[in-house]
Structure 1
Amino acid sequence: MIATAELESAIRSSIPVLHLEIIDQSNGCGENYAVLVVSEAFEGKKTLARHRYINDLLKEQIAQMHAFSQKSLTPKQYEAYLAKNAEVA
């Protein structure tokens, strides 16, 4: 079982994080996580490069999971994401 704190520690120790959400979608058994990572480190990088970076960073943890999904956004993209979600709500 992977703990949320383990994922948070691995991410925060590797890149500067403006915002981080880690959601256990497996009802507490730690086998299915979704993460939202907002970092200036993603500036100038395409989505695939961001995903590969996070996947490589968490490769040991992901290997123990059933499912893993992520959103990796720049601060500007995160602002747009929040504004879009506010319109829907």
Structure 2
Amino acid sequence: MAMEAADIERMIREAFPTAQIEIMDLAGDGNHYAATVTAEEFRGLNRVKQHQLVYSALKGRMDGSSGELHALALTTKVPENHE
């Protein structure tokens, strides 16, 4: 079963309400997406931990061969300070 980009964004937004989120369907099949998530919650965390937080927000939708989401090319960022 495929996922819609809006569903992925909604799930990530629930975990990171103020994040900037961009989702792109890479293959047009609802299974292969790229996501860029820019969130203050990532500040001070290494890239692995940032990605783990996003995958956790997807609540098991990527788990194993039965997952609804087959592939997610993930980029995480911390917002730039504009002081």
TM range (shorter): 0.7 to 0.9
SS where residue 3 of structure 2 aligns?
coil
Residue of structure 2 in register with 1:8 after alignment: 9
Does structure 2 retain, via aligned residues, the 8 Å contact 1:22–1:34?
yes
Does structure 2 retain, via aligned residues, the 8 Å contact 1:31–1:66?
yes
Alpha-carbon RMSD across the aligned residues, in angstroms, is 1.9
Which whole-Å CA distance do the structure 2 matches of 1:35 and 1:76 have between them? 18
Deviations 1:8-57 (A, max 9, x none): 11111111334210001122x20101100001111111101001111111
Unaligned runs of 5+ in 1: 78-89
Letter in 2 for 1:69: A
Residue of structure 1 in register with 2:44 after alignment: 44
Q: CA deviation at 1:59?
A: 4.1
Letter in 2 for 1:37: V
Letter in 1 for 2:45: K
Residue of structure 2 in register with 1:81 after alignment: none
Does structure 2 retain, via aligned residues, the 8 Å contact 1:7–1:61?
no
| Residues paired across the two proteins, number | 77
Considering fraction of residues, name the structure with more helix: 1
Question: Identical aligned pairs, as a percentage?
Answer: 28
TM-score (norm 1): 0.76
Which whole-Å CA distance do the structure 2 matches of 1:59 and 1:13 have between them? 11
SS where residue 60 of structure 1 aligns?
coil
Which whole-Å CA distance do the structure 1 matches of 2:19 and 2:69 have between them? 25
